Amino acid sequence: MARPHPIPETRWPTRLEAASSRLFSPQRCGAFVARTRSWVPAMVPWRATEDGEATDAVIDWYRRFADGRPGVIVIEATGVRDVPSGPLLRIGHDRFVPGLRRVVEAVREASGGETRLLVQLIDFLAVRRRPEKDKFVRRFLELREAHRERLAALVGDERAQTSEAQVREQLLALPHEQLLAILAPRERESLEYGYRERVTDTGLPHVASLPQALPPLFADAAARAQAAGFDGVELHCAHAYTLASFLSRTNDRADGYGGSPAARARLPLEVFAAVRARVGAGFTVGARFLGDEIITGGSRSEDACDYAERFARAGMDFLSLSTGGKFDDAAQPKVGEAVYPYTGPSGHECMPTVRIDDPAEPRSRGPFGRHLHLAAAVRARVRAAGCETPVVGAGGIATFEVAERALSDGMCDFVAAARQSLADPDWWRKVEEGRGASVRRCKFTNYCEALDQRHRQVTCQLWDRELDSPAPWGRERVTLSHDGKRRLLAPPESP
């Protein structure tokens, strides 16, 4: 394992320097002007109910970010369908609107109306847990002639022509490698990683019809976001989810929605058009997508630039960049667990840690502003096309110096900081007020991400054991995680 990069020393600005900085200057973003160019990107905290409703804990999570008065906060990936999806927020029915409105009201109140609020709209395909081997072979595997033929080659014709139940038992009795050799590649994947649908599974009617199904689903969801009082929506076209999979170079659908870059961008653009038609020009609509998928055979920076130009020309209001986070190279999950798209090389790039590369390597960059060059490439392409669409850069941004340089060098128009904002939700305000020295600085070792991976309430190692520090907003009691061991919210600034 690579040695860790040290958290670099930094110089924080005085209040006067902050006041004349680009970071703390206004920036238009579609229908609104953000007070500053600071941005808290989407972060799932695992605090919704099993039915996808906003809880008091969800509301407090966003209220706490709003204390720092960033220019923009994006609410976590929120499902556009009305289907069970565990404790992830949902917006797939009108009954979710009142709960989401409470989130909006809390953010408005805590930020004094200074923070603009977006919600990230997501669709995803089915991913099942890695099955136990005997269950897979006895129950899930669809036995075909090809299996019998390959089995016959190993054990002899007569034994392979017995009843289906006997064939299954024979398959189960084989050494694991031989069983794998008999299975087709997708069956092998289902056994080793768990069954996972792809946008290229056009033999499945609900996958074939995604281009018809998704535009109205996203449009309805955006209309609900508007009704709940949000300032706009972010279409989730990043990481391992449906719209990202359409954009991926690995998408070879033959129905006009895969293959060429134009065909891969078609569904995200049709979703955007449906959303815009529903919410009108007075509501901000942008997209988050990948500056680089990182995976073998996946989309690279030139694809991202191509999509960015199409999105900007179509009238999207902002383009937010992320990196990696794919299923394709994810680590094998344990039996009974689902594959998680942030465990392979692309996942490590998505939330880069101080161990992302070896500081001794001459080309190492560490996590700090690691992917800004991808935002810069996209921005240059969009500007060359004559569009002023703002670009949001992310990845290891945690100091004023890195943020300000990214903006003044023209790499992006907003700087997004996820983990630094979790480590210290007040950090933007502290820096703006010339009190940067008191910022709790993120360690970039991904304790928070490990909690996310296990679907546990996300907290930060820098403060979640401070059970004796006060609760925020003068409340009497500190709220604790389900196991009672961790506080759920960063302590307030000490007076």
Ligand X SMILES: Cc1cc2nc3c(=O)[nH]c(=O)nc-3n(C[C@H](O)[C@H](O)[C@H](O)COP(=O)(O)O)c2cc1C
Report the interface residues with ligand SF4, using CB under 6 A.
419, 422-423, 442-448, 460-462
Quote the CA–CA distance of 299 and 301 in Å, as a whole number: 7
As given in the structure block, the two tokens for residue 487 are 């506080």
Nearest distance in Å: CB 394, ligand X: 5
37 C-beta neighbours (distance < 10 Å), count: 27
Instruction: Determine which residue in the list 293, 306, 404, 449 makes contact with ligand X, applying CB under 6 A.
Output: 449
Pair 35, 71: CB distance under 8 Å? yes
Nearest distance in Å: CB 427, ligand SF4: 11
The entry of ligand X, ligand SF4, none near residue 423 (CB within 5 to 8 angstroms by kind) is: ligand SF4
Nearest distance in Å: CB 442, ligand SF4: 3
Nearest distance in Å: CB 76, ligand X: 5
Instruction: Determine which residue in the list 339, 448, 462, 490 makes contact with ligand X, applying CB under 6 A.
Output: 448
Nearest distance in Å: CB 447, ligand SF4: 4
CA distances (Å), origin 181, targets 124, 191, 281: 30, 12, 55
Task: Specify the residue, 346 or 446, whose C-beta has the smaller distance to ligand SF4.
Answer: 446
Strand intervals (E) in 293-343: 319-323
As given in the structure block, the two tokens for residue 389 are 């669409």
Quote the CA–CA distance of 354 and 1 in Å, as a whole number: 11
Nearest distance in Å: CB 37, ligand SF4: 21
Contacts of 285 (CB under 8 A, 6+ apart): 30, 222, 232, 233, 235, 272, 275, 276, 279, 316, 317
**What element of type H or E holds 206?**
helix 205-208
The entry of ligand SF4, ligand X, none near residue 221 (CB within 5 to 8 angstroms by kind) is: none
CA distances (Å), origin 452, targets 156, 374, 393, 442, 465: 48, 26, 22, 17, 18
| DSSP secondary structure string for all residues of 47-111 | -S-TTS---HHHHHHHHHHHTT--SEEEEEEEESSSS--SSS-B-SSGGGHHHHHHHHHHHHHHT
Quote the CA–CA distance of 388 and 195 in Å, as a whole number: 42
Binding window for ligand X (CB under 6 A); candidates: 148-156, 252-260, 423-431, 446-454 = 446-454
The entry of ligand X, ligand SF4, none near residue 397 (CB within 5 to 8 angstroms by kind) is: ligand X
The alpha carbons of the chain give a radius of gyration, in whole angstroms, of 24
Pair 46, 238: CB distance under 8 Å? no
As given in the structure block, the two tokens for residue 381 are 């392409």
Nearest distance in Å: CB 361, ligand SF4: 22
In the shown chain, the binding pattern of residues 111 to 150 toward ligand X, with x for contact by CB under 6 A and - for none, equals ---------x------------------------------
Instruction: Determine which residue in the list 54, 60, 69, 76 makes contact with ligand X, applying CB under 6 A.
Output: 76
Binding window for ligand X (CB under 6 A); candidates: 41-49, 102-110, 185-193, 212-220 = 41-49
The entry of ligand SF4, ligand X, none near residue 196 (CB within 5 to 8 angstroms by kind) is: none
Nearest distance in Å: CB 64, ligand X: 14
The entry of ligand X, ligand SF4, none near residue 322 (CB within 5 to 8 angstroms by kind) is: ligand X
Under rule CB under 6 A, which residues in 227-246 are in contact with ligand X? 238
The amino acid present at 37, given as its one-letter code, is R
Binding window for ligand X (CB under 6 A); candidates: 28-36, 93-101, 353-361, 414-422 = 414-422
Cα angle 302, 307, 312 (rounded to 5 degrees) comes to 125
Nearest distance in Å: CB 235, ligand SF4: 26
Task: Specify the residue, 150 or 379, whose C-beta has the smaller distance to ligand X.
Answer: 379
Quote the CA–CA distance of 139 and 136 in Å, as a whole number: 6
Instruction: Determine which residue in the list 23, 418, 431, 439 makes contact with ligand X, applying CB under 6 A.
Output: 418
394 interacts with ligand X by CB under 6 A: yes
The per-type count for the chain, helices as H runs and strands as E runs, is 20, 10
The entry of ligand SF4, ligand X, none near residue 443 (CB within 5 to 8 angstroms by kind) is: ligand SF4
In the shown chain, the binding pattern of residues 293 to 332 toward ligand X, with x for contact by CB under 6 A and - for none, equals -----------------------------x----------
Task: Specify the residue, 131 or 341, whose C-beta has the smaller distance to ligand X.
Answer: 341
Binding window for ligand X (CB under 6 A); candidates: 15-23, 36-44, 48-56, 108-116 = 36-44
* Distant-in-sequence contacts of 150-153, Cβ < 8 A, 24+ apart: 150/181, 150/182, 151/182
Task: Specify the residue, 432 or 464, whose C-beta has the smaller distance to ligand SF4.
Answer: 464
Binding window for ligand X (CB under 6 A); candidates: 13-21, 25-33, 395-403, 468-476 = 395-403
Give the number of residues in contact with ligand X, rule: CB under 6 A: 23
As given in the structure block, the two tokens for residue 262 are 């134009």
395 C-beta neighbours (distance < 10 Å), count: 27
Which residues of the shown chain bind ligand X in the complex (CB under 6 A)?
41-44, 76-77, 120, 238, 288, 322, 351, 394-397, 417-420, 448-449, 452, 458
